[in-house]
Amino acid sequence: MRDWAKTLRRASYRGVEFWVEFEDLSAGKRLALHEYAGGRQTVVEELRLATPAYGLTIYLVSDLADIEAQALSAAMLADGPGYLMLPIDGGMMATAQDFRRSRGKDRHGYISFDVTFVPTFGPGGAALSVGDVASAVAAGFAAAAAQFAKLF
């Protein structure tokens, strides 16, 4: 039987690590529905694939969660796509489309985020951006070294 805890990767975005509570992927096809007056049939035209999006509920839990949350917010607001590592799907270049941060009065040291990431495909989608490097340095030199090592 598979030991899932040993096979899952540590999640991160632009070198800022976090834990994943929930992950969902929405994907599909773009369709044009051609409906005609008085007709009983619809002609369906496929317009290639729709843009996928990952909806994540992530969290930080530590004595430094407030500082880590600032680093994660800065990473998600940085220009351009960044390197996203997910526990099961692995790494990809992605852009943080939006996020919502939550804190509870009785949950000190615990900060959660609901985030939507949109994967980046095409030329240049496999390289680290300046925002990746700046965020990784802000999160710590060790995180920057780990991101650089992943390139080779």
Q: What is residue 125's predicted lDDT score, i.e. its pLDDT?
A: 46
Q: What six digits make up the tokens of 115?
A: 């985030």
Three-state DSSP at 86 gives strand
pLDDT means over runs of 10, the chain (152 residues): 87 96 95 90 93 96 94 96 93 96 93 97 52 53 56 60
Residue 14 structure tokens: 């632009």
Q: Are 90 and 84 in contact (CB under 8 A)?
A: no
Cα–Cα distance measured from residue 105 to residue 70, given in angstroms and rounded to the nearest whole number: 18
pTM over 0.95: no
